[in-house]
Amino acid sequence: DIVMTQSPSSLAVSAGETVTINCKSSQSLLSSGNQKNYLAWYQQKPGQSPKLLIYLASTRESGVPDRFIGSGSGTDFTLTISSVQAEDLADYYCQQHYSYPLTFGSGTKLEIK
């Protein structure tokens, strides 16, 4: 099984700051066939279902603000949130969909000071 290691587990920032969340997979998520990384990022606000933010490691889902940026390849990935806003208060999860069983990172709780 592919283990997803996410860090940090929590962080608190002031509005306007930039946040970086890291996600490391135990195996490469890069498909040799199409050179795509099968890594997604989700945002879960309090009391809500998760929302897809980023897919294929770096493509923003429709409607997602451009302050959310996904990067990385292979086994190391990053979600960057630039100029954090109060509405970004949420838990963030990475997830590999390269192979079954699908696995999620343990999550990062983002708090706004």
Partner 1 sequence: EVQLVESGGGLVQPGRSLKLSCVASGFTFSNYGMNWIRQAPGKGLEWVAYISSGSSYIYYAETVKGRFTISRDNAKNTLYLQMTSLRSEDTALYYCARRDVYYGLSVGFAYWGQGTLVTVSS
Nearer to partner 1, 17 or 97 (CB): 97
- Kindly provide the residue ranges of all beta strands, DSSP E only, lying in the chain, ordered along the sequence: 4-7, 10-13, 19-25, 39-44, 51-55, 59-60, 68-73, 76-81, 90-96, 103-104, 108-112
Binding test (CB under 8 A) with partner 1, winner from 14, 35, 101, 113? 101
103 binds partner 1 per the rule CB under 8 A: yes
Contact segment (CB under 8 A) with partner 1 among 14-22, 70-78, 81-89, 98-106 equals 98-106
68 binds partner 1 per the rule CB under 8 A: no
